Amino acid sequence: MADTAAQSVAQTGTKRDFLKLTATAFAVVGVGAIAWPFIDSLNPARDTLALATTEVDLAPIQPGMAVTVMWRGKPVFIRHRTEQDIAAARAVKLSELKDPATDESRVQRPQWLVMIGVCTHLGCVPLGQRPTDNKGDFDGWFCPCHGSHYDTSGRIRRGPAPSNLEIPPYTFISDTQIRIG
């Protein structure tokens, strides 16, 4: 009996090793359990999440016009695109794009382009919503911070931004109304 006990100690460590490991493991779990409520309190609170949808009436927006609405504290660009805008966006070859995406994949209805108006470079709001704005070299949007040019489908064409303007989740509630979020 004594021999086997000595043997098992030699092979697997002492009771003290076992106690140290289990105590440390419990301490780690305990610290994690205490830390989690603090970390989670930094996540969006329930009242913040309750504000996470925005409904927009599209009826007053004429072709060629654009509006900016707020969704989750960020601007959302909604452009009622003209036939020329759509044709220009669809004429581009995917091989010319830095972040290849077809125009079809970026819209639910071709005339309505809905995008988060935040440059994917470092978070500035690009110009291009107002008629007097600089729309960049591709007649879409132009970010004045570091010179990113977006086309009429909101895709990055030139400049430091790594990807196309992001499309938020949205649904058409009716022909003239969308819900973002």
Partner 1 sequence: MAIGLHKSEIKNPVLRWVDERLPIFTMLHKEYGTFPTPRNFNYFWNFGALAMINLLIMIATGVFLAMHYTPHTAYAFDSVERIMRDVNYGWLIRYVHMNGASMFFIVVYIHIFRGLYYGSYKAPRELLWMLGVVIFLLMMATAFMGYVLPWGQMSFWGATVITNLFSAFPIIGDDIVTLLWGGFSVDNPTLNRFFSLHYLLPFVIVGVVFLHVAALHVTGSNNPLGIEPKGPQDTIPFHPYYTIKDTVGIVVYLMVFAFLVFFMPNYLGHPDNYIPANPLSTPAHIVPEWYFLPFYAILRAVPDKLGGVVLMFGSILIWFFLPWLDTSKVRSMRFRPIARVALLLWVIAFFVLMYCGSKPAEQPYVLISQIATAYYFAYFLVILPALGKLEKPLPLPESISRAVLGEKALGGGPLPASAAAMPMEKA
Query: Binding residues for partner 1, per CB under 8 A?
Result: 36-38, 40-43, 45-48
Pick from 151, 155, 127, 125: nearest CA to 140: 151
Q: Are 156 and 162 in contact (CB under 8 A)?
A: yes
Distance CA 163, CA 181 (A): 21
Distance CA 64, CA 85 (A): 9
Shorter beta-carbon distance to partner 1: residue 24 or 48: 48
Task: Provide the H-helix boundaries in the chain.
Answer: 2-12, 15-40, 46-50, 83-91
Shorter beta-carbon distance to partner 1: residue 3 or 47: 47
Least distance (Å) from partner 1 to the CB of residue 68? Answer: 28
- Tokens standing for residue 58: 């599209």
Least distance (Å) from partner 1 to the CB of residue 74? Answer: 21
Least distance (Å) from partner 1 to the CB of residue 50? Answer: 8
56 strand-pairing partners: 178
The catalytically annotated residue of 80, 121, 146, 149 is 146
Shorter beta-carbon distance to partner 1: residue 37 or 169: 37
Least distance (Å) from partner 1 to the CB of residue 19? Answer: 12
Shorter beta-carbon distance to partner 1: residue 36 or 172: 36
Strand order of the β-sheet with 74-80 is: 66-71, 74-80, 112-116
Query: Three-state DSSP class for 1?
Result: coil
- Tokens standing for residue 41: 């309190």
Annotated active-site residue 146? The verdict is yes
Residues acting as catalytic residues: 146
